[in-house]
A and B are shown apart, each in its own frame.
Chain A
Amino acid sequence: MITGDRLAASTAAGSRARGNTVDLEGIVHRYGGLKAVDDVSLNIEAGEIAALLGPSGCGKTTLLRVIAGFVRQSAGRVLVDGRSIDDLPANRRNVGIVFQNYALFPHMTVAENVAYGLAARGIGRAARAPLVDRFLDVVQLKALKDRLPKQISGGQQQRVALARALAVEPSVLLLDEPFSALDKGLRLDMQIEIKRLQRQFGLTAILVTHDQEEAMSVADRIAVMHKGRVEQYDTPSAVYDRPATPFVNSFIGTTNLLPGRVIGREGGSALIELDAGAVLAVPVEASIAHGMRVQVSARPEHLELHATAAPDRLPVQVGLVVPLGPTAVLDLRMRDGAGIKLSDRRTDSLPAVGAALHCGFRADARPSVFPLATN
């Protein structure tokens, strides 16, 4: 029996990864004279979630639409499992999408929405029913199967959209800002839910988002995009700890950029004299040369305060103390009046506002150093 086989097959799929690799080769997309996507190449491993992360207008949504087949790229190829899908129309690409507004069919019930893709493929009503039930089960919405989309909550609508996309057993799952319309509390639940389902079905997924926390928590790898280009494509921790460009550095997390000059170079590290008055020994890339103007990126959690002065510590004055749940953020004033942020575990012994202290890097901190554009 077809139904039974399909059901058995998709249940068995839960235990083994059967995702496809997705490769983008030199994708370019022009709108008029503007390059919305500029020579993007990415390799996404089977069963991974990759996030396309960037500010609005960075080309991430256009890239998603190229993969879905809604727009045709000006140049480059999209390969799924090694085969080019460029000549396939959107309805034959077998790509599942969850849209930002979920795009549920408003005139169909929850069950009809989930059944839609199966019906469009010519699977008969009798064969559809058990599959629809199964996918409604997967997202725990069986009880609401006869409701219309407008009769259920935003989170439930998103689960329907997810079930609808999963029901056609897509080769790739595309998620277009899927969490942005949800309340903050629900957002984390849905992120976990999507990750669970993606794992369960062994799907390769691509998540488009402008929210770096979302990308960090959901994705296996993050492509940080800026002005149509991919600035860095790496694991969340690598993108955070070792940003490749100043843009990535400032877009992911918060950071303090401290200007300085390279006054010594030895092996893999450099001696940098910060304008604010401290000398640091930092491991750097080979491109950082002696005498160069640079900026040192100091993440707030990489800094700590000391009572005593030292050559590698900046003299600061405490400007503001903001307790944020388990951490506290301190706004410090440097000698030149510029601000610098520091975050630390919140304890009872937070420094008083106005106290003169010395700010240095934690022993385990690895600050990034970027050449400073001189102009």
Chain B
Amino acid sequence: MGRRMSVADISYVLAIGGLATVALTILVGPVVIVLLTSFGDSQSLKFPPPGLTTKWYEALFDASQSRQIHRAAGNTLWVAGCATAGAILFGTLAALGLARSRSRLARIADTAFMSPLVLPGLAFGLAALMYFTFLGLRPSLELIMLGHAVVIVPFVLRTASASLSQLDPALLESSASLGASWLYTLRRVTLPIIAPGIVAGGFLAFIASMDNVPVSLFLAGPRSDMLPIRLWGMMESTLDVRVAAVSGIMVASVLGLMLIMERLVGLTRRMRD
């Protein structure tokens, strides 16, 4: 038997519940609308759709109709993959280096590594373009990878640092006393234990790279078309419903990946750390 609620209790529940409902509507609503739109049979982006069809998805997967989208998607996945690999390498190394040191220099370096997270993307994109041009480099896919890697390193650094801070130092001492070199300890103890944290950070980094517009915008050359930029272009010119179909696929695959990640490494738990 629940006890009777007072007026204060009721108003608390109503206020919090109401806010949560509003927040969920704002967060989930657009996703629902874009999904419904992608199955709509009108010729342009329109909600609510007059009828339902899967022809936009068919058109999207048809190589002859959607060659440019395919190339942009390929570029985006390739860049995100390489940038994530780079971010995992450098983020993990940085986390390992910073974890041991409590010096002021280490704190400053930590802040510097994290700065892309708070720096406006546009400002970083412009700065990167000017810097690379100054170095004599032309905008290209490789430059986008580099730019993305810098912007997404914080995700890996944060989660790897969080995992490292929970690593019992006695494990490392134990390993040393059993005769292991630091490299052996790193390979057999440290990395396996912090791996879930690194994977979780890598996942977030990958999504952030897939989604990145400002850095790609500045660093893209004529042959390096990226998916978010291509979608924007299609929106501007034709209101092509395939844009909604692409969004639908991205939502579905990210959702699927998140479920897998949650299962494998406890993603939400690591994001709270």
Contact = CB atoms under 8 A, between A and B. Distances in A.
Interface of A: 68-70, 89-97, 99-101, 103, 105-107, 116-117, 119-121, 164-165, 168, 174
Nearest to B189: A105
25 contacts: A68-B173, A68-B177, A69-B177, A90-B173, A91-B176, A91-B178, A91-B179, A91-B181, A96-B178, A97-B173, A97-B177, A99-B174, A101-B168, A103-B174, A107-B192, A116-B175, A120-B175, A120-B179, A120-B180, A120-B181, A120-B184, A120-B188, A165-B178, A168-B179, A174-B177
Nearest to B181: A91
B214 to A, nearest CB: 39
Nearest to B180: A120
Contact of A90 (B170, B177, B184): B177
Nearest to A98: B174
Find the residue from A69, A97, A165 having the highest chain B CB count within 10 A.
A97
Contacts of B192: 107
B193 interface: yes
Contacts, number: 69
A325 B30 CA distance: 73
Nearest to B171: A103
Given A105-B175, A117-B180, A120-B184, 6 more contacts: A70-B173, A99-B174, A105-B189, A107-B192, A120-B181, A165-B177
Given A99-B170, A101-B170, A117 B179 contact: yes
B165 to A, nearest CB: 16
Nearest to A92: B179
Contacts of A105: 171, 174-175, 188-189, 193
Nearest to A93: B177
A94 B173 contact: no
Q: Give chain B's interface residue range (CB within 8 Å of chain A).
A: 10 to 19
A116 B173 contact: no
A131 to B, nearest CB: 13
Interface of B: 168, 170-171, 173-182, 184, 188-189, 192-193
Which of A70, A99, A117, A120 has the most chain B CB atoms inside 10 A of its CB?
Answer: A120
B168 A164 contact: no
Contacts of A90: 173, 176-177
A117 B178 CA distance: 5
B59 to A, nearest CB: 47
Nearest to A116: B178
Contacts of A95: 177
Looking at A96, A101, A105, the one whose CB has the most chain B CB atoms below 10 A away is: A105
Contacts of B170: 99-101, 103
A4 to B, nearest CB: 22
A174 B170 CA distance: 13
Nearest to A161: B174
Contacts of B174: 97, 99, 103, 105
B45 to A, nearest CB: 49
Given A103-B168, A106-B193, A120 B178 contact: yes
Most chain A Cβ neighbours within 10 Å, of B179, B180, B182, B189: B179
A248 to B, nearest CB: 30
Contacts of B193: 105-107
A164 B178 contact: yes
Give the top 9 A-B pairs by smallest Cβ distance, nearest first. Answer: A117-B178, A103-B170, A120-B180, A90-B176, A103-B174, A91-B176, A120-B179, A97-B177, A99-B170
A91 B171 CA distance: 13
A92 B189 CA distance: 18
Nearest to A174: B177
B188 A91 contact: no
B179 A94 contact: yes
B103 to A, nearest CB: 16
Contacts of B171: 103, 105
Nearest to A65: B173
B173 A103 contact: yes
A95 B173 CA distance: 11
A78 to B, nearest CB: 14
Nearest to B172: A103
A91 B168 contact: no
Contacts of A119: 188
B104 to A, nearest CB: 17
Contacts of A69: 176-177
